Amino acid sequence: MVELLYLTASILFILGLRMLSAVETARRGNVVSMVGMALAVGATLLKGGTVSWIPILAGVAAGTAIGGISAVRVRMTAMPQMVAMYNGFGGGASLLVVAVELYRTGGQVPLAALIAIPLSTIVGGVTFTGSVIAFAKLQEIMPGRPILFKGQHWLNLVLLLIAMGLSVYVIVAPPASGLFIVLNILALILGVLSVIPIGGADMPVVIALLNSYSGIAGATAGFVLSNNVLIISGSLVGASGLILTNIMCRAMNRSLANVLFAGFGATSVTQEVMTAAGGRVTEGTIEDAAAVFENARSVIIVPGYGMAVAQAQHAVRELGDLLIEHGAMVRYAIHPVAGRMPGHMNVLLAEANVPYDQLFDLDAINDDFPRTDAVLVVGANDVVNPAAKTDPHSPIYGMPVFNVEEARTVIVLKRSMRPGFAGIENELFVHPKTMMVFGDARQTLLKIIAALKAERGALAATG
């Protein structure tokens, strides 16, 4: 009976995931998957064998309270770190599960289960602390820039080799309690060390990868407990995370190894480089920007992480609606790696009620820039950097970017002339077609909207 319920749950997970990959069915898909989870959990509790109920009831109560409250309260802009954190808890749970299993059985388990124990410990531990570091970086508790030190790769390699050695020992001579505890600590340290060298702009890859890890940790825990529903669901998540990771890497034209080990964006670029780029910044006022939009028949808005930081998504939508109201065609160009997690910009614009059929992917819109009157870049940087196409020495050379400079005018909203998160200079900012409007993106947008409305009001009054 329990196995049948597990089988049903597995089927519901697969169906749910498939429905999650189409907009029309996504919400129902999530519910289908929830039902699967309820079945799996219910079956486990009903199957008997539970002796002590207190840790279970207390844990479910605590977890429901923490998970529920945080999920309801989190702001959409803080979603990347929230998702990372939930993910980390999944990895942490896998680490704890196999630790209890080894302790309880003293290692008297089938060989396959024994092999899976250290694997689950390492992957689960890396998922847990890796996610905590990703959370801390995104929440700006710690600096988002890559943290690099001499011999970092060697240290990681040595620690990984030690962890593998300990794993072998645990498998050969279980339970090896003392060394197993060391292995747990090593796994947690490895998680920290593997995420600190990764810069904020690469977070979409990291979060997708950690997502995959949490699935793998669950699947290996399934091998430890010979539990098929764990193995199936864990592998599903592992595979889906890998697909997303791959999509993110391709969108940056970089290999996963490059993302994980290169310490991308660590080079600090100063103001001097901006002048070295050989151009002058054209600064525009609110009125200048409003005048451009006033005359634009077609507008493309390119949002980036800066939009999230400034909480500017609602103001962006308001401007977009105003322009549509006055007959302009307004579209949003969304780069796969814009923001800090896969799909970050889509979520924020959805929150601001932008219909998703106004959002366009890189390939869908990139040929339309020459026919576009005005491009509005809100807090995006690398994804509009022409150096990706023209400068072989640029660290982002080869990354597919929006051809915004082909439009008639480009308006860039930016807090200051400081280089972006990735620390790379951007020729777009000194491009002759570009008008920079400095200041908080949200405030700037609201002022532009007010200026446009005043202009229209004046026209209406005289006309």
Partner 1 sequence: MISEGLLFTLYIFILAVFVGFEVISKVPPILHTPLMSGSNAISGITLVGALIVAGYAGGDLVAVLGFLAVTFGTINIVGGYLVTDRMLRMFKRGPQKHRRHG
- The phi, psi pair for 345, rounded to 5°, reads -65, -35
Q: Which is nearer to partner 1, 328 or 411 (CB)?
A: 328
Subset of 243-282 contacting partner 1 (CB under 8 A): 243-244, 247
User: Residues 404, 372: contact at Cβ < 8 Å?
Assistant: no
Q: Tell me which stretch binds partner 1 (CB under 8 A): 16-24, 262-270, 292-300, 370-378.
A: 16-24
Q: Identify which of 313, 312, 323 has the alpha carbon closest to the alpha carbon of residue 289.
A: 323
> Does 7 interact with partner 1 (rule: CB under 8 A)?
no
> Does 157 interact with partner 1 (rule: CB under 8 A)?
no
> Smallest distance from the beta carbon of 395 to partner 1, in angstroms?
24
Edge-first strand order for the sheet with 409-414 is 359-361, 329-334, 298-303, 374-378, 409-414, 434-438
> Does 106 interact with partner 1 (rule: CB under 8 A)?
no
Q: Tell me which stretch binds partner 1 (CB under 8 A): 101-109, 281-289, 366-374, 440-448.
A: 101-109
Q: Identify which of 60, 34, 223, 206 has the alpha carbon closest to the alpha carbon of residue 134.
A: 206
- The first and second tokens of residue 109, run together, are 């388990």
> Smallest distance from the beta carbon of 336 to partner 1, in angstroms?
6
- The first and second tokens of residue 213, run together, are 């890890």
> Does 237 interact with partner 1 (rule: CB under 8 A)?
yes
> Does 46 interact with partner 1 (rule: CB under 8 A)?
no
Q: What is the distance between the alpha carbons of residues 149 and 144, in angstroms, rounded to a whole number?
A: 15
Q: What is the distance between the alpha carbons of residues 174 and 160, in angstroms, rounded to a whole number?
A: 20
> Smallest distance from the beta carbon of 187 to partner 1, in angstroms?
15
> Does 398 interact with partner 1 (rule: CB under 8 A)?
no
> Does 53 interact with partner 1 (rule: CB under 8 A)?
yes
- The first and second tokens of residue 96, run together, are 């704890």
Cα 412 to chain centroid distance, Å, stands at 24
Q: Which is nearer to partner 1, 127 or 409 (CB)?
A: 127
Q: Tell me which stretch binds partner 1 (CB under 8 A): 64-72, 132-140, 166-174, 275-283.
A: 64-72
Q: Which is nearer to partner 1, 56 or 157 (CB)?
A: 56
* Strand 298-303 with 329-334, pairing: parallel
Sole residue written with tokens 């009001």: 457
Rule CB under 8 A: choose which of 8, 240, 258, 366 binds partner 1: 240
Binding track, positions 174-203, relative to partner 1; x by CB under 8 A: ------------------------------
> Does 108 interact with partner 1 (rule: CB under 8 A)?
no
- The phi, psi pair for 409, rounded to 5°, reads -135, 140
Q: Tell me which stretch binds partner 1 (CB under 8 A): 15-23, 194-202, 381-389, 429-437.
A: 15-23
Q: Which is nearer to partner 1, 174 or 395 (CB)?
A: 174
- Measured CA angle at 147 (ends 146, 151), to 5 deg: 120
> Smallest distance from the beta carbon of 398 to partner 1, in angstroms?
20
Binding track, positions 352-391, relative to partner 1; x by CB under 8 A: -x-xxxxx-x------------------------------
Subset of 404-423 contacting partner 1 (CB under 8 A): none
Catalytic residue among 288, 321, 373, 382: 382
Subset of 80-99 contacting partner 1 (CB under 8 A): 82-83, 86-87, 89-90, 92-94, 96-97, 99
Q: What is the distance between the alpha carbons of residues 296 and 408, in angstroms, rounded to a whole number?
A: 9
- The phi, psi pair for 151, rounded to 5°, reads 75, 15
How many residues at the interface with partner 1, by CB under 8 A?
A: 114
Rule CB under 8 A: choose which of 236, 310, 316, 378 binds partner 1: 236
Rule CB under 8 A: choose which of 147, 229, 365, 437 binds partner 1: 229
- The first and second tokens of residue 251, run together, are 């969108």
User: Residues 398, 252: contact at Cβ < 8 Å?
Assistant: no
- The first and second tokens of residue 383, run together, are 């994804």
368 catalytic per annotation: no
Q: Tell me which stretch binds partner 1 (CB under 8 A): 69-77, 158-166, 375-383, 402-410.
A: 69-77
C-alpha distances (whole Å) from 284 to each of 259, 300, 437, 441 are 36, 19, 5, 14
b/e code 6-25 from CB counts within 10 Å (16+ = b): bebbbebbbbbbebbeeeee
Active site members: 382
